[in-house]
Amino acid sequence: MQPSWLIEEDDGSVPHPLAGTVMPGSDIIMHVLAQEGTEVIFGYSGGAILPTYDAVFRYNAATDESMPLIVPANEQGAGFMASGYARASGKVGVVMVTSGPGATNTVTPVRDCMADSIPIVVISGQVPTPAIGSDGFQEAPIANIMGAVAKHIFLVTDPEKLEATVRTAFEIARTGRPGPVVIDIPKDVQNWEGVFQGKGKLLVRGYRERIAEVAENVLTDEKCRLFFDALEKSTRPLVYAGGGVINGNAASEVSALADRFEIPVVTTLMGIGTYDTTRERSLHMLGMHGTAFANYAVDDCDFLIAIGARFDDRVAAVPEKFAPQARFIAHLDVDPSEIHKVKAVDWNHVGLLPQAMKKLLDYGIHTKKFNKDFTPWNAHIAELKSTYAMNYDRQSDLIQPYAVIEEINRYTNGEAVISTGVGQHQMWAAQYFDFRSPRLWLTSGSMGTMGFGLPAAIGAHFARPDLVVVDIDGDASIRMNLGELETVTTYKLPIKIVVLNNLGDGMVKQWQKLFFKGRLSASDKSLHKKDFIRAAQADGYEYAVRLEKSTEMKQVIREFMQFNGPAFLEVMIDPDAGVYPMVGPGMSYDQMITGDHIPTRNLEEEGSQVEVDSSEMF
């Protein structure tokens, strides 16, 4: 008789060849991982997870290393590696760590994945079930801690539920709005022996009903008619695409709609790659550090089509002034909680984005036969891109970070995986790199976690070994997970690491100069003794070079990009280089600061030099 907590879906597949076999819980975990398509595990061992680590060893010995285990310098690195893998592949990343500090070290990457809707499964060891709550060695209340930051947390105290729990964790991680799921597994549950069923999931009825409701909510002809009626009245429509387009695998459908009806596209930081940035209608990124022409296009549009975007504070710091001329706003998303959360809209649809975009496109072409000419608007867009183009001091003797990225971009040609840390270098990379397709841009968006770039690049390599992977990092950001330099060389990964060194926390200093009268509190902290080149050489980098002269930039970058194997490049950049454009806290796009080299439509530089209240967000 089937337990009340178990469902066994008959999908017509061939029964697992090991179904009915008695095996340890640790082996059951491994076979479920294999069923779920796990290609690589990122993790660090320890006492409470040793039974499952032994199972990993034995599984790989029997399957010719079909599920390699990549060991980081610490567990935070493992979490970001799994995140980088998931972001680059669209699959679920897997982390395996021990109890106590092993698990708590993954809190930051778990929250980071939750904030950016990234699917990972964290398998953490726990002290034996009878010892839970006794403050035993390396015990931590992971269910309590992770419950606040993960999409879901399981504490497996009934070994009979282990197999179904692991399978259900993957389902929850990848479905709906993706996110991180944590499974806390006591050591005695890993050692328990029971029958491997080869199928079955937990009965999470409420969750599945919500997911099914969204999946089954298809666009009606009436809603499509209302959408195109509004588009018919529009003369300046604009697509505003967010990270939900990438996570929902809807980039090709969004691009098809934009191309068919000749609608320009702006993307959020997380939406980069939705639309080929080399295309004429691409306006690149909007928002706090978006291109001036993208932000001005938002100001000028009369119909805003938000897809998989959430009007967050980096984009719509002043919601009532965002897209001020838009007479009609449409919003499509997979998460109903995002509709009307920040900005009221005139039309919305909650459902799977690929099928919604296909329905709109099909209705517009065949039913509506929509063919309105938006040539004047596209001409205006072209003028915005020409007049307010990205620019910087191209005559400076100091190395400009923008020039470094432009030069690397000549080699990557929009077809490499680019990961970043967090700070000025992150924004420069978003602004000056090209991205021809989705899942090539990996960055910590909502959480803004320094130290993300290097381990994420490692994970990305295992997702896309066919592509060049480049980590653009900062001297402060890379310090956070500098130990992963050795991970790269240990596994002989041909990852290219660039450190744009401005001797401090560049983004913090920029804010302090603009809004705190130049008081560099703790941002110019004299962390100048680190010799990154010697550190890289000590970790086994055969190519480790410091670039200090702008006249040598092209030659050094050519050698760096052409080097076969792990490569490390430190670039001593202009320490005063800033990130522009910039929309300050509490400001609208018409108050955008464009710096000295990008024109502005509103010359109110003195108005931008305002003190920032402590309640304002960074």
Q: What is the pLDDT of residues 102-134, one digit of tens each?
A: 999 999 999 999 999 999 999 999 999 999 999
Phi first, then psi: give them for residue 549, nearest 5 degrees.
-115, 130
DSSP 516: S
Overall average pLDDT of the 463-478 stretch: 97
Q: What share of the chain is helix, strand, coil (3-state, %, to 5)?
A: 40, 15, 45
Whether the predicted pLDDT of 270 surpasses 80: yes
100-109, 188-197, 587-596, 600-609: range with lowest mean pLDDT: 600-609
Q: What is the mean pLDDT of the chain?
A: 94
Q: How confident is the model at residue 605 (pLDDT cuts 50, 70, 90)?
A: very low
Helix (H), strand (E), coil (C) string for 112-133: HHHHHCCCEEEEEEECCHHHCC
Report the 10 Å Cβ neighbour count for 139: 18
Residues 6+ apart with CB under 8 A from 309: 240, 241, 242, 243, 244, 268, 271, 315, 331, 333
- State the catalytic residue, choosing from 30, 480, 507, 592: 507
Overall average pLDDT of the 483-506 stretch: 95
| Cβ-contact 350, 324 below 8 angstroms | no
Whether the predicted pLDDT of 211 surpasses 90: yes
Residue 553 among the catalytic residues: no
pLDDT at 510 (0 to 100): 77
Domains of the chain listed by start with CATH number: 6-214 (3.40.50.970), 221-371 (3.40.50.1220), 401-572 (3.40.50.970)
Residue 576 CA to its chain's centroid (Å): 28
- State the catalytic residue, choosing from 91, 161, 187, 199: 187
106-115, 499-508, 599-608: range with lowest mean pLDDT: 599-608
Q: Is the peptide bond before 581 cis (omega within 30 degrees of 0)?
A: yes
- State the catalytic residue, choosing from 30, 36, 42, 75: 75
DSSP 302: S
pLDDT at 618 (0 to 100): 54
Overall average pLDDT of the 542-554 stretch: 98
pLDDT digit string (tens) for 300-325?
Answer: 999 999 999 999 999 999 999 999 99
What is the spatial distance between Cα 133 and Cα 137, in angstroms, rounded to a whole number?
11
DSSP 542: S
Residue 67 among the catalytic residues: no
- State the catalytic residue, choosing from 57, 137, 525, 559: 137
Residue 513 among the catalytic residues: no
pLDDT digit string (tens) for 357-402?
Answer: 999 999 999 999 999 999 999 999 999 999 999 999 999 999 999 9
pLDDT at 517 (0 to 100): 78
| Cβ-contact 120, 88 below 8 angstroms | no
- State the catalytic residue, choosing from 23, 39, 67, 138: 138
Residue 328 among the catalytic residues: no
Percentage with pLDDT > 70 across the chain: 96
pLDDT at 610 (0 to 100): 47
Residue 605 among the catalytic residues: no
3-class secondary structure, 500: strand
Instruction: Provide the whole-model pTM.
Output: 0.95
pLDDT digit string (tens) for 62-99?
Answer: 999 999 999 999 999 999 999 999 999 999 999 999 99
